[in-house]
A and B are shown apart, each in its own frame.
Chain A
Amino acid sequence: MSDENTSIPEASPEPSASSPAPTPEVPATRRQRFAAWRAARPFWGGTLAILSGVVLWFSGRLQIDNFEIQLGIEGMQSTLLPVALVLLGVLVMTQPQFRVFYGVITLAIAVYSLLGVNLGGFGVGMILGVVGGILAVSWMPRSAEAEGTASSTDETPAAASAAVPADPRDGQDVSLAEILPFDDEPARGGRHVAVVAAVAVLAVAGTGTTAVEAAAAPAAQVRTASDCWDPLGWLEWACGSDDEAEPTPSPSPSATDGPGDSGGTDDGDDATAGSDAGVAGGDASADDATAGEDADPPTPGQAPEDAATDEDATDADGKDSDKDGKAEEDTPAEEQAQDDVEKEFKLELGPCARITFGGEYDINVSLPGDCGKREDANVFSIDGELETRDLQLPLTGINGIDVVNVPVTNDGPRRDALRIDVDYVKVPGFWLKTYADNNGKVGGTLTDADYVSMEGDAQMYISSIHADLPDGDDWAELGEKIAAGASPVEILLGLTDARIGLMGATSDKQVWSGFREQVWEE
């Protein structure tokens, strides 16, 4: 009510704008001059408006590149509103006569920032702006104010004429004036305090439903932290816990294998299996010593047994027999089998595919040519690396294997790919590494999952397959399977440790179970 009384005369133009506070010659110190300058304008209102702009600016900066499209209205707001608040703060200080105009706009922008910029800079920017705006609007110059208060309250003429409050009341007043933004005079200061308190209380009450709590978060509402937090994958090996699929399957099977294989000698628990394994490896032959690292020590006596029972080539046994196989190389049947396998691949894939044999029993299928059937539905990019524990195809098998020629954005306009059509495929131990160019630095994503399944018109586009055949015997086996009519590609995909150059995959439905995707950079 008294607010209205005081604000009405305030609306008329003041002389103070042109001549800031008819200051007597008394104040000489810098501090006093600053106090006088401050008193001549809505200093705290302007300062708070500037501060609120700064807070909003930093709370709402979007700094993603590749952002041209998304920079719509919301991007503009997070730049424009903070800048406007800073400008208003400066303007209200340089042109105090327009304080009502500036103040009201400050208020409007500060309130809108709740919707426009990051919840009003998480509330802080908005509250600063609102308080600043209110202070700016309600500020009045000393002379007009002195008249107003002189008429309403009973102030002594001496106090009213002392335009600069600092000098006579320095001792009692300065401390308050320095701390609080209400240094005009004690009476007004009191009212300011009341209003600011009211604003604060109401603001908090307004968020009452949203409950701004400055309290420790109750642990119950918060998901518990994972045991080993590793956002960038640096600690992948240290962190590889049970619930995360390993990129390569070897450690987990061997962990279960160790005690079983060396049951006779291993009297420790699982934790000691590794060291036991080392000892066993030392006892074993030179070939087996290389297997020590895998914590998987087949003793010579056990090795043939393993080889005999690993028809279905489970992971750990596959490793075993791989090592064992080196001891029994160079059967003439093997070379024959290689020739057969190569012929069969050529038969299945046509002349576009290139089959190479490298290392001991590596087989590589690649498609360097440019001779497949043209297909333009999707444009592919650089291929990712896919590793799986073993690809599970349906009993009905692959619907079709074709060499297609697709458009790409790396390595020329087009390239060949192996297109595999299936109704359903399940990829346990899914591990996919993708590549992207970040301003010359190579990076990308690394995704692993318990399994990935694709169903409904699933198609995989494959640029290469690299498989490590378990051992020499498997050549003959492979040859037999192929001779029996199985698809060599299907067999190869199903092999343990097959590494697939994955250009792409499409399907109607796809499930990534328990996946984790991380960003990597070299």
Chain B
Amino acid sequence: MTAPAITPDIVAQHQLTPEEYQKIIHILGRAPNLTELGIFSVMWSEHCSYKSSRIHLKKLPTRGKLVVQGPGENAGIIDIGQGYVIAFKIESHNHPSFIEPFQGAATGVGGILRDIFTMGARPIAVLDSLRFGKLDDPATGARNRRILSGVVGGIAHYGNCFGVPTVGGECIFESCYDGNPLVNAFALGVCRKDEVFYAKAAGVGNPVIYVGARTGRDGIHGASMASAEFTEESKQKRPNVQVGDPFMEKLLLEACIEAMHTGAIVGIQDMGAAGLTCSTCEMGSRGGVGIEIELDRVPQRESGMTPYDIMLSESQERMLLVAEKGREEEVYRVFRKWGLEAAEIGVVTGDGKLRVRQHGEIVAEIPNRQLADEAPLYNRPYTRPPQRAEVAGPGPAPLQTQDALPALIASADICSKRWIWQQYDYQVRTNTIAGPGAEAAIVRIKETGASVAISLDGNGRYCYLNPREGAKLAVAECCRNLATSGSVPVAATNNLNFGNPERPEIMAQLVEAIEGIAEACVFFDTPITGGNVSLYNETLGEGIYPTPVLGIVGTLKTAAPVTIPFKHAGRAVMLVGGIGACNDLDFGGTQYAKSILKQLWGQPPALDMDYEKRVHDAIREILAEGLAESAHDLSDGGLAVALAECSFGPAGVGAQLDIDSDLRPEFLAFHEAPSRILISTLNANTKRVDAIAEKHGVVAPVVGVTIEKGIEIRQRSMTLGSWEIAALKHSYETALESHLSQGAANV
């Protein structure tokens, strides 16, 4: 067999630049063969190497007193006390989910779950942040609905079968996600602090063991696909999307955790993006050792696979581990019990090289460290983010508050996502204290008796208007959700979804957003312990809004949480943080501007981080003293939407608000200034709530009273709108299904 010569064309097909190719020649001291070129191309892809973002990611805070493991491992690890830690991370599967929604999303969940249990932690919660194109768009709606159904079905299929509860998330619809849906999956697991495993090879002579599913030709070059823009040809890349087997993953989980307990495992890493290539060279690099493998021993699903195929395959549900020499049988025994294949495919060496043999002959030989850690690093030029034409401000409102609220409640962004989360098993493991639809998800840790709260948030509209401020707002919103659930934020993970970084204005969005996250995460004391960067989210030159998604985790003691709905009539309604400010400029990123005015202009709402934090301290203290019967933060759709959501509880209790404010009526009802939380409390408690608020330097005006039926908002005694709860609630709960079926009827 004669190896094809490496031509500039072949180099280009591997998405390597001529300079990068020269660097490869320099590292090897010779020209690479095709297998080696393939190995370099995946390891140096944007997806694996973060070559465009790494310089800026260094700005993120990664240390903290609870951080056991920061970025650089499969997941970040945080100490939660009593000898236990949690491991968590968020990761994207955007590109595969566009090409094949069901399997793309399913394997996205599979990948993040492996990242968690690779570290020895049993996954106990999954959340998803989703973005799709508009469901009722005449041109793209049908495809968007198909993608939504497929993605939700895929997440459900994988998570439900695996046995991890999908406890929350978010889902937003914008035209910019038409050709680039975003599927960001977050997972969190728990384990004993002294039983954490790392993806590090060690001990020259130790066996390298392959476990799990066999290797096929699926997913070859998935990592590179995720590192390029979509074109018409991308649709031909369907074979690049892997197929998930959640049952296999469940067995792999149980077997890996049991095998770890034997004490015979030195290091372990899952085979995700870039498969066998990534796991071998990264484990070797982290341990400062070499790894030699023989491809003939790799369990294969089909015959005639080349070294190139085997090394680049992204077949799912596979793990690579290094065991202690002489104790292999202990490991094999566990995998046999679970009916899984395990094969010794190689050995740890002392020469720092990744050496790959087939039929005994060397087919690739590359220094691990240079391959894994010396990927090219780009400080790509950046100018300033694209600017939106400054609009003077909204004209007269086309809809009065009375009609605007029902319209917003029924919009796809704001309506209940029950149609989605009802397809997820959100209760398995019987730890879900607050599930989908709650302020933040809360999951009990049976091992310690404590609980963790999790919130995911991102706002592409805000970030498009101002990436730095939009990113800070996402951090603030997550922390506010956690505070409103009674928990203290401790650490964060982020998923940076952006367009093509080779365009200076897109690169500017990325830089600004990272700096915004850094600033806010330092301020709120939530170090970033890991995450993911997804670039090139563009189709035919159309980029997405810059969409950094934050996942922040907090801790709290296990107890029944204070929930969103009003419980009883005759209670005082208070707005912790106050009415907030809004002007023409700040109103342009709101849901009202989007759904009612069909515009986007100006700036995101102004955030005062210091005030925000004091609001968090105040609400936590109010909740801890048992003063609030209900609590809900103001977010998309502002005060009116929050009020409606508080009125959709089983008690059917609504409220009548009368607000003393000079704001324009639509601003008052729908502006989205942060740092505001709506609570209901016994009249006798308002003084105490006030005192707590004052102590923290925030206002908490009484804005109304809960009532037996109906919702009403007044401004200085003048009614802006009054609504019957049942009709609003029905529309809130069924709107997403209507968007899906009405759209379908139009086809």
Query: Do A and B assemble together?
Result: no
